[in-house]
Structure 1
Amino acid sequence: GAATDYSLLLVARQREELQHTKSVADSLKASWKASFGAITASAATVAIALLCLLVSDLNSNQSLGPIAATGIFFAWVAALTLLPALLFLCGRAAFWPVTPKITGAESSHKFWNKVAAFVEGSPRKVWTGTLIILFAGAAWLPMLNATGVSNSDILLSDTEAKAGQEILNEHFDAGAGSPASIIAPEELEDDVMEILDKHPEISQVTLTSESGAPANTPPMNLEPNVVDGRIYFQATLNQEADSLEAQDTVAQLRDEFASLDGEILVGGESATSLDSNLTAERDLRVIVPLVLAVVLVVLIILLRAFVLPVLLLLATVISFASAMGVSALVFNHILGFSNADPTVPLYGFIFLVALGVDYTIFLMTRAKEETPEKGTKKAVLHSLTVTGGVITSAGVVLAATFAALSVIPLMFMVQLAFIVAFGVLLDTFIVRTLLIPGLVTDIGQKVWWPSRQSKESQEEVSEISS
């Protein structure tokens, strides 16, 4: 999806240049130079944002970061090396059957001219109206419950494992197959046993002997196995080991054991799930600010301004919140997903913020290029006109790429597919098309602060001087 985005941007610029230049080589050189900054900034934003996953405490996140970033790097390389070479070899025939001809005029963009005229007519009403729409979507964000999902719910299709768990629940305690494991100091045996016996969600407690048999079950009454001054308990829960209820029980046990004078460890499948979910929530709190900082720095370097990058970042964050809010509404009331894995909002954020800002990068780098000649307001509206078609195509391609994940019968994949696909389309058709152009048109040349490069500022300096 990213490789197609970068390729579309270069190809669209190449088509423009071929309408003004006879030489294919010269047009390629011009389009390559004009596209290099936007494509590089886009790839850098995505790759660095993905590498932020290296600070995660989950190995699955840590491995995804460099693997995906490597893919983005080679997409960037292919778009700026292999693609130009192929376009040069094919010449104008690469655009068959609509081969660009030298006209000296720009291509007709009737639809996008109308969109630009709409934004220009009432820019403040446009950006405030789109903000209201985005905030309305974000209002549903608290409905997103991303505290974890049981293994049986993750699988959306019928499996033998799910059928086996149902039979197990009918005849045995739900947690019989995966009891909680407790390791405690030997001197706390009675205290631990008392807490376990009193807990309403624990049906059976066994203390392991040297032979591996239960040490506390009559008539055997064996001595418990002591290793390095510690003893091992197994607690069978009334709840399925992979359920959220079992995780709550483990959390309660840990809280109660914390009051005892000694280190007591609670492990097992339920504890592992609990720890994974808590770690994922920690990653979300740490990685989100880190990614936002990375994106802001890249935008400041690319645009050589401060006000505009902050506006672009805030718009992207609001778009993400709106996408997540609408997703929560769809998950809860249409798809019937009452919960989500804690990594879903993290991956959704990484992909949407990093990829969503691409389209505003494509838009505003073109506007920056033309601002000295046309002025900020005319430049951003002209940029909206000439890039509208290619950015929309890129957004649809990327959304379709992620939507393809929905065929995988895993709740995690279906949720991520909808979040990213819907979010990318929201960025493409609302944020990039209406919100950003409306904001920039309304604010004017101040968006480039502290840079003074616009036509308006130059004219202002001339007037003051005269």
Structure 2
Amino acid sequence: MTVSSIKSPRWVALVLVVLAGLAMGIGAMEQPQSSTTSLPDGTDSKFVAEVLEQRSGDDAQTAIALLDSATGKVLDLGKLQGLAMDLGGPLIPNDDSTAAIIPFEVPDEGAQEGAQRVFDVRTELAANAPEGVETFVTGPAAVSADLVDVFSGANFLLLSVTAAIIAVLLIVTYRSPILWVVPLVVIAIADRLAQIVFTWVLSAVGVPWNESVSGILSVLVFGAGTNYALLLISRYRDELHRHTSCFEAMAAAWTPTAKAVTMSAVTVLVGVSCLLLSAVPTTRGLGLASVVGIIIALVFGALVLPGFLVLCGRWIFWPKKPTVGEATDHRMWDSVGKFVKKRPVAVVVVAMIILGTACAGAMGISTGLTQSDQFIDTPESISAADRLAEKFPGQDATPAKVITHDSEGLTAALGAKGAVVQAADPVGEWEVLNVSGFGTAELRELIAESNYSEARVGGQDAQLHDQEQSSADDRLLIFPTVLLLVFIALVIVLRSFLAPLIMVATVLLTNVAALGLGWWISTYIFCFEAFADTTPLYAFVFLVALGIDYTIFLITRTREEATQHGTRNGVLNALSATGGVITSAGILLAAVFAALGVLPLVVLAQVGIVIFIGVLLDTLIVRTLLIPAVVQLLGEKFWWPSEINGHST
């Protein structure tokens, strides 16, 4: 890039920021509200949900008001009839009349409206119930309402924590009270734009999304965008030691940095795009949203940030402004390089032992959380469901929804097996049963044994069961696909076979090690019962996509240095030049993903834990020690079958 051309990004930056402002003014599209959009394709639970949606005038979810005697005395049912009339449902006492339930419907007019209806009912019940009667609301509508409630303000909290982490780490990295503001503001604008644009894109192609997509996308944009910013600023600062003009310095820094971050972005895009292969629509939504976010982060990091940096001049680095001729201090990373050069075999062996030990934890991983285990803090709908099961042993807050063409025969067959069956209003040609007493797998097996093959089992528990099965299928498909596609992308970019193979192998090793350590931490420290069914998938894809970034940054700089100094010396020079900034970027990215722990769902906390561990392993062990040691052992053969420095490999 020439000096004259680097001046134009100031205007490009301003134009892009103005366009982003206009987009923010238009606003985001509304999240889809259909209860079937998040269910895996081709499953019984989705089929049942779609059938139930066809019920004439049925745009409602079921809720259950639980009235429980605080003292264990018999309830005065006459005093509770008014509450039942207000809710429009029957008053049903338990066997000893110490508790009663009122099933009622919550119109499905949107997530916020439905949640508000549940909250209003809770308030009214608490205010109007007779003295000594405790009131709760549970059931599918209440679970949905509590999910909306726990996310209320959570994304703002996540954004605040993420921004604070980035600000602190940027200040520590550059020791400037000013510099951190520029990249943080640029990335914050990129994030807000991504939050809006992804809803446009997903709405246009008919792909749904849920509440967690927004949080994960923010972390992804902030993490990737900050990485791009750190690389650019580091190279720009180095060039300011060689050039008197900020424009000349940026021109010298921009081309190699843009090449590295573009290569990085391509691998991330390839990785997250594999989520589009999922059978779960909202997982596909996360994949497409991530594609949008990475593209916007790349555009703002490569085009907007350079313009603002040259506009600010050298004073942005105050109090230690870079001066021409000043030497850059890389003594610590020079020492690391010398250590690796002296003992490459020992470094490889020790690194493999550490990673291999961590991988052992992955052998014990189990997936599948119950509905009550999916929240960090147990909401009322879940605790009330437990109390409901205690007071009404045959009643389930979320019974299975079974559709059949012969409800009478199936009711008799299931009743003979000990199930509690209640008939519900039919839907077209289908008759509907509410069934309690068995898990989804057992119920489906009982129905199959009873020769009612046309019957389908749905409901919330069945949906969780089918999501777990679909997630297992997704892992079998997406894991090898993402590794293969990233490998192909690296082969094309590096024009090598062996180097990409080693890079992908180390990423796979890091992933398994991170999952193993993450499993131990999740179960033994945080006491989570299991991984959520999507935890391994999300963690694996994002770790492959993001974790390989640092190796790419190192290897691209190694290739650049190798043309002058040979591969063995080139990797040491690259480690010396990039060690500080890449380590800072890795620590920052790990900390940003750890911020997912402020969100209220176990799956997001687990994904944050695994990615936090994986990025640190990749940054501190793989990129710093293992890869340089392997390059020392292989030398020019590392690039096989390419040629570097005029020598055939």
TM range (shorter): 0.7 to 0.9
Deviations for 1:413-448, whole angstroms, at most 9, x for unmatched residues? 211111111111111101100111111111111111
Secondary structure at the counterpart of residue 34 of structure 1: helix
Q: 2:246 aligned with 1:24, yes or no? A: yes
Which range is displaced more, 349-358 or 42-51? Answer: 42-51
Return the offset for 1:385: 0.9
Match of 2:292 in 1: 70
**Match runs of 1:179-328 below 5 Å:** 179-186=399-406, 190=409, 192-193=410-411, 195-199=413-417, 202=419, 204-207=420-423, 212=425, 228=429, 231-237=431-437, 246-253=439-446, 255-256=448-449, 260=451, 262-328=453-519
Offset of 1:207 from its aligned partner? 4.7
Q: Is the contact made by 2:362 and 2:517 (CA closer than 8 Å) also made in structure 1?
A: yes
Q: Please state whether the residue corresponding to 2:403 is helix, strand or coil.
A: strand
Residue aligning to 2:585: 394
**Distance in 2 separating the partners of 1:342 and 1:327:** 14
Q: Mind listing any 5+ residue stretches in structure 1 that lack a counterpart? A: 213-224, 239-245, 461-466
CA 1:433–1:199 in 2, change beyond 3 Å: closer, same or farther?
farther
Structure 2: distance between partners of 1:104 and 1:163: 64
Partner of 2:302 in structure 1? 80
Find runs of 4+ consecutive structure 1 residues off by over 6 angstroms. Answer: none
Q: Give the Cα–Cα distance (whole angstroms) in 1 for the partners of residues 322 and 525 of structure 2.
A: 46
Matching residue of 2:313: 91
1:267–1:177: structure 2 CA closer, same or farther, 3 Å change rule?
Answer: same
**Cα distance change on mapping 1:151 and 1:226 into 2, 3 Å:** closer
Aligned to 1:141: 362
Count of matched residue positions in the alignment of Structure 1 and Structure 2: 427
Q: Which of 102, 109, 118 in structure 1 is aligned with 2:339?
A: 118
Shift of 1:231: 4.1
Conservation of the 8 A alpha-carbon contact between 2:415 and 2:421: yes
User: Residue 623 of structure 2 corresponds to which residue in structure 1?
Assistant: 432
CA distance in 1, matches of 2:374, 2:427: 39
Q: 1:89 to 1:234 in 2, by over 3 A?
A: closer
When residues 163 and 264 of structure 1 are mapped into structure 2, their CA distance, relative to the original with a 3 A threshold, is: closer
Identity %: 37
* DSSP 3-state at the match of 1:99: coil
After TM superposition, give the deviation of residue 254 of structure 1 in Å.
5.4
Corresponding position: 1:155 with 2:359: no
1:178 aligned partner, one-letter code? T
Equivalent in the alignment of 1:41: 263
Note if contact 1:250-1:271 (Cα within 8 Å) is conserved in structure 2: no
What is the deviation of 1:164?
1.2
What root-mean-square deviation, in Å, do the aligned CA atoms of Structure 1 and Structure 2 show? 2.1
Unaligned runs of 5+ in 2: 1-222
Q: What SS class does the counterpart of residue 323 from structure 2 fall into?
A: coil
Residues 250, 270 of structure 1: 8 Å contact kept: no
* Alignment map for 1:417-428 (pairs within 5 Å): 417-428=608-619
Higher alpha-carbon deviation: 40-49 or 3-12: 40-49
Deviations 1:382-401 (A, max 9, x none): 11111000001101111111
Residues 98-142 of structure 1: per-residue CA shift (max 9 Å, x gap): 22222275x121211111111001111111210111011001102
Q: Distance in 1 between matches of 2:642 and 2:447?
A: 56
When normalised by structure 1's length, the TM-score is 0.87
1:143–1:262 Cα change, 3 Å: closer
The structure showing larger relative contact order (alpha-carbon pairs under 8 Å, at least 6 residues apart) is 1
Contact 1:2 1:72 in 2 (8 A): yes
SS of residue in 2 equivalent to 1:20: coil
Number of the residue aligned with 1:177: 397
* Inter-CA distance 272–226: structure 2 relative to 1 (3 Å threshold): closer
Distance 1:97-1:280 versus aligned 2 partners, 3 A rule:
same
